[in-house]
Amino acid sequence: MRLWLLLHLLGFTMWLGASIGVMVAGIAARVESRQGLAAVMRAQAAVQRLIIGPGALLTVLSGLMLTLNASSRFGDPMTAGPWLMVMQVAGLVAGLLTLFVVIPTGARVARLDPEVHAAAFDHLRTRLRVAASISGVLGILALVAGALM
């Protein structure tokens, strides 16, 4: 149980910490040229692939293991209160959104040349920004719900 909790804490630290770093880099990149923006997107995609993705996966899997462990030991997981359910649902949705929308979209936008494929590049960046923002808000909600539990 302690190992799963350690992995859970490590995973969401990697996931949310790197996500905040990627967000700040994206905000700072607004003043860059189109080619500079492409370099920033490639760096962000690498961080998403190497840190955010494994962190989100580790968080979701360890969270599922912690839930199964708690269910087998204590019966109904709702005995811990409603904050546990908020943490589980928000974390699961945020993790799945990160793994299946944010990371693939980031990889696609990083492969595009922003001058040749300007419309597609801007469209994918907007989709990435919206999906990552929703995922980040849900991840922070899960973190706060876990603290209130």
In the numeric block, which tokens belong to residue 35?
Answer: 């080619």
CA–chain centroid gap for 15, Å, is 5
Mean pLDDT of 6-10: 96
% the chain with pLDDT above 90: 81
Q: Looking at residue 1, what DSSP letter applies?
A: -
Is the pLDDT reported for residue 3 higher than 70? yes
The pLDDT score that the predictor gives to residue 82 is 87
Q: How far is CA 89 from CA 13, 51, 52, 61, 97, in A?
A: 18, 22, 19, 13, 12
Q: How far is CA 7 from CA 29, 34, 61, 72, 113, in A?
A: 32, 39, 9, 20, 37
Measured CA to CA, the distance from residue 92 to residue 142 in angstroms comes to 9
Is the pLDDT reported for residue 71 higher than 60? yes
Mean pLDDT of 73-94: 80
The pLDDT score that the predictor gives to residue 104 is 97
Contact status, residue 15 vs residue 55, Cβ threshold 8 Å: yes
pLDDT in tens, 40-58: 999 999 999 999 999 999 9
The number of beta carbons lying within 10 Å of the beta carbon of residue 142 is 25
